[in-house]
């Protein structure tokens, strides 16, 4: 049992299950904080809201520019044609495109530079500035309205300064929508709990070009800090609590199902194994609960193996008892005769000494015969099928002629049987010899095939087998002719050889003599 001390540590099944369940419960948190799924959704939501607000401001601003009659040469860059937009005309949707997981977070927005706005655009900005301020109070978004050169004409305290060098503004001035994630400038320290969220440190910037007659009339530049994930979850605490309860309940349900269908049957099978190993025959019975089809199959296979091992153990025990009994009788006789010859041989006459010597030789011969038959039985029981096949014609031709009786093949001699000629010859030789020793004069053999199986009938005209002995003829060492040298192992060898070739033998009723029926695989 040295291997027990060297066995590597392995976790218990319950430990593995607990770890798996913890991982299952942690998956939502992993999605929230590691993959930023929820934060990214909040950023996309913020960008979509800024686009919607900017589109309204852009439409109002374009109307003001058109009403002011500003000449086209004062407008900005021409906007190139977009085939996708032309196909959707008059609709021009802008989808949020920021991704916290893949987009780089840019530095804080550069400061505005001194500049001078065109008076015509400045007048429009002055009229819209109050509207933007009132809108900001509700939306919490920062609004900057820029002229075609990127100069702020409305919104905040940067009026009259240029934002044209800001990357997303520069893109919008060329006629394309642009958005960016930038580090925010916090106006107060964030609460410690919020520090787990990356989204609290960024601000979403959106630059929307204002189109008028195919040219850029200005840019609506908006920004806002997205909602914090922890703050948002706190605001949805009722739903979050229900979700947590659902996750916990689902995890417990998984644990219950796993314990009932896997863990409990495994531990029950382990306990049953220990009882069987301790010799408890009552433990060889199906489990009360299998859980799954695979566990039921495993349990059935294990119990079948246990039953076969138990039967094998009983057979070995019975066989050992028979062997010891069979060997003990001649050994006792040999020992007694030898002791008599040793102690009283000088006082015996020649006839007595010869009689005791003959007894020793006879019993020694019986011992030798028993040993040979035991070896034959052991070979038969451990025989592996060779895959060979033969016919009754070939097997009978290989047997020596028995002058005591006539063996007649009545039909089916050409059917190929799934057994080698040598082993089939041993089977037939034992059966024919038994018939001859029980007074038979004729043995009739007939074979027939039905699909992949063949039936071989072997009957004789001998004395037959009494009703009291019919159930015992395949028991090892059972014989009715022990006085004439019978060992009672011939039919045991026949049975073992046939089992090794997926065959069977049974005694069938007969009006006269003895009749056996052998079932073997047939090769078509």
Residue (of 392, 329, 50, 95) closest to 207 by Cα position: 50
Q: What is the 3-state secondary structure (H, E, C) of 385-426?
A: CCCCCECHHHHHHCCCCCCCCEEEEEECCCCEECCCHHHHHH
Question: Is residue 220 predicted with pLDDT exceeding 80?
Answer: yes
Q: Classify residue 118 as exposed, middle or buried by CB count within 10 Å of its CB (0-12, 13-18, 19+).
A: middle
Query: pLDDT tens digits for 252-263?
Result: 888 888 878 878
Question: Is residue 170 predicted with pLDDT exceeding 90?
Answer: yes
Q: List all residues 6 or more positions away from 279 whose beta carbon is below 8 Å from its beta carbon.
A: none
Task: Write down the pLDDT at residue 198.
Answer: 41
Task: Write down the pLDDT at residue 109.
Answer: 92
Task: Give the C-alpha separation, 155 to 412, whole Å.
Answer: 109
Helix 490-500, helix 421-437: angle, nearest 10:
150
Q: Which residues pair with 279 in a beta bridge?
A: none
Task: Write down the pLDDT at residue 231.
Answer: 63
User: pTM of the full predicted structure?
Assistant: 0.47
Task: Write down the pLDDT at residue 221.
Answer: 96
Task: Write down the pLDDT at residue 258.
Answer: 80
pLDDT higher at 148 or 307: 148
Task: Give the C-alpha separation, 116 to 147, whole Å.
Answer: 11
CA-CA-CA-CA dihedral for 169, 174, 180, 182, to nearest 10: -30
Question: Is residue 458 predicted with pLDDT exceeding 60?
Answer: yes
Pure H helices in 182-263: 229-235, 237-258
């Amino acid at each position: 049992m040295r291997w027990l001390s060297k066995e590597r540590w392995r976790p218990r099944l319950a430990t593995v299950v607990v770890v798996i369940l913890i991982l299952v419960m942690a998956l939502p948190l992993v999605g929230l904080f590691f993959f930023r799924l929820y934060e990214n959704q909040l950023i996309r939501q913020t960008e979509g809201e800024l686009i919607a607000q900017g589109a309204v401001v852009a439409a109002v601003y374009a109307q003001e520019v058109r009403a002011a009659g500003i000449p086209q040469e004062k407008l900005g860059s021409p906007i190139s044609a977009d085939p996708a937009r032309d196909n959707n005309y008059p609709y021009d949707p802008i989808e949020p495109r920021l991704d916290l997981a893949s987009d780089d977070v840019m530095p804080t927005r550069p400061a505005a530079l001194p500049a001078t706005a065109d008076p015509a655009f400045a007048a429009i900005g002055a009229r819209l500035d109050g509207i933007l301020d009132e809108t900001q109070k509700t939306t919490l978004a920062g609004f900057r309205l820029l002229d075609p050169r990127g100069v702020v004409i409305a919104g905040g305290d940067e009026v009259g300064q240029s934002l044209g060098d800001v990357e997303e503004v520069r893109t919008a001035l060329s006629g394309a929508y642009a958005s960016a994630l930038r580090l925010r400038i916090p106006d107060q320290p964030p609460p410690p709990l919020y520090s787990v969220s990356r989204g609290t440190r960024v601000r979403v910037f959106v630059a929307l070009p204002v189109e008028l007659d195919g040219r850029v009339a200005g840019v609506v530049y908006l920004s806002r800090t997205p909602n914090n994930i922890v703050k948002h979850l706190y605001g949805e605490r009722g739903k979050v609590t229900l979700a947590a309860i659902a996750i916990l309940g689902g995890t417990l349900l998984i644990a219950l199902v796993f314990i009932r269908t896997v863990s409990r049957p495994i531990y029950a099978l382990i306990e049953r194994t220990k009882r069987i190993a301790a010799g408890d025959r009552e433990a060889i019975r199906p489990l009360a609960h299998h859980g799954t089809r695979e566990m039921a199959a495993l349990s059935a296979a294990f119990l079948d193996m246990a039953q076969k091992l138990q039967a094998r153990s009983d057979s070995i025990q019975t066989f050992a008892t028979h062997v010891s009994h069979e060997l003990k009788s001649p050994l006792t006789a040999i020992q007694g005769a030898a002791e008599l010859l040793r102690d009283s041989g000088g006082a015996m006459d020649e006839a007595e000494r010869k009689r005791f010597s003959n007894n020793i030789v006879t019993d020694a011969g019986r011992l030798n015969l028993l040993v040979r038959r035991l070896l034959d039985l052991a070979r038969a029981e451990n025989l592996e099928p060779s895959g060979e096949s033969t016919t009754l014609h070939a097997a009978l031709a290989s047997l020596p002629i028995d002058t005591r009786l006539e063996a007649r093949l009545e039909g089916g001699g050409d059917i190929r049987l799934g057994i080698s000629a040598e082993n089939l010859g041993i089977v037939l030789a034992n059966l024919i010899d038994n018939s001859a020793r029980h007074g038979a004069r004729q043995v009739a053999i007939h074979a027939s095939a039905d699909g992949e199986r063949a039936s071989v009938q072997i009957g004789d005209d001998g004395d037959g087998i009494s009703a009291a002995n019919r159930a015992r003829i395949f028991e090892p060492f059972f014989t009715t002719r022990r006085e004439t040298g019978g060992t009672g192992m011939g039919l045991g060898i026949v049975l073992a050889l046939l089992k090794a070739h997926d065959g069977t033998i049974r005694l069938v009723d007969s009006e006269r003599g003895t009749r056996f029926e052998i079932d073997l695989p047939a090769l078509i």
